[in-house]
Amino acid sequence: MEIRQLSLGPLGTNCYIVAKKNKAVVIDPSGEPTAIIRALQELQVQPQAILLTHAHFDHIVALEELRSRFEIPVYLDKAERGWLGDPERNGSALFGMGEVAVREADHFFSEPQLSFGDIVISIRKTPGHSPGGVSFIFEEGRFVVSGDCLFAGGIGRTDLFGGDFEQLETSIKEQLYSLPDDYIVYPGHGPETTIKSEQDSNPFI
């Protein structure tokens, strides 16, 4: 299993491609669709789905172009139904970089696990930064894609629509810090870290 990190868009939001054999999933297509397409070509994989950790605008800028080009479904937590097309809720109306509105997700997470070929993904609900925040756990690769829940030395902001600090703290402690110490954390912004490093030194939790 391979993971490719791409820092894209005006906020440097991380998009991830997780690949195994000839298949892949795209997590949070944050911008610059040509860069994502080029990475998929370099990896020689066919994307199977787009998975969203949450529906904030900086995580979805390239969503529609990728969905249309590859004819693949988009998955999102049901707590953020309607956010993709709502600039107020997805935050794009607040940042002065142009409003973002895309079609609704094709599927909402209903099971704790998804599989695409040999790629097996466990889904943990990690709300707090936003009501429908989720983290994707890849047991084979021993890593988690945490979205804007947990960063290297930081946590997601909770002053946007639907944010809740106490909920975020609970999500991190119960859903992420319960993972093995050596798991790599791939966040929505910035460099990767590990569960142990954040448990030992994250100043916010």
pLDDT (mean) for 157-184? 98
Residues 26/17, Cβ–Cβ less than 8 Å:
yes
Give tens-digit pLDDT for 33-42: 999 999 999 9
Instruction: In whole angstroms, give the CA distance from residue 161 to residue 136.
Output: 22
- The predicted model scores a pTM of 0.98
CATH number, domain at 59? 3.60.15.10
Q: How confident is the model at residue 180 (pLDDT cuts 50, 70, 90)?
A: very high
20 — pLDDT class (breaks 50, 70, 90): very high
Half-sphere exposure of 93 (CA within 13 A, CB side): 11
Is the distance from CB of 56 to CB of 50 less than 8 angstroms?
Answer: no
* Total of domains in the chain: 1
CA distance 53 to 68: 20
Q: What is the pLDDT of residue 96?
A: 83
Taking Cα atoms as reference points, which of 59, 69, 50 lies closest to residue 187? Answer: 59
Are 42 and 143 in contact, with CB atoms under 8 Å apart?
A: no
8 A C-beta contact, residue 79 and residue 131: yes
pLDDT of residue 184: 98
Q: Would you state the pLDDT for residue 97?
A: 81
pLDDT category of residue 64 using cuts at 50, 70 and 90: very high
Reported as a pLDDT band with limits 50, 70 and 90, residue 95 is confident
Residue carrying structure tokens 């956010």: 83
Q: How far apart are CA 82 and CA 142, in angstroms?
A: 32
pLDDT of residue 191: 98
Mean pLDDT of the chain: 97
Query: Which pLDDT does position 10 carry in this prediction?
Result: 85
For 184, the domain range is 2-201
- Buried b / exposed e over 18-50, threshold 16 CB at 10 Å, is bbbeebbbbbbbbbbbebbbebbeeeebebbbb
Name 64's Cβ contacts closer than 8 Å, sequence gap at least 6: 102, 103
- Integer Cα distance of 54 and 148 in angstroms: 8
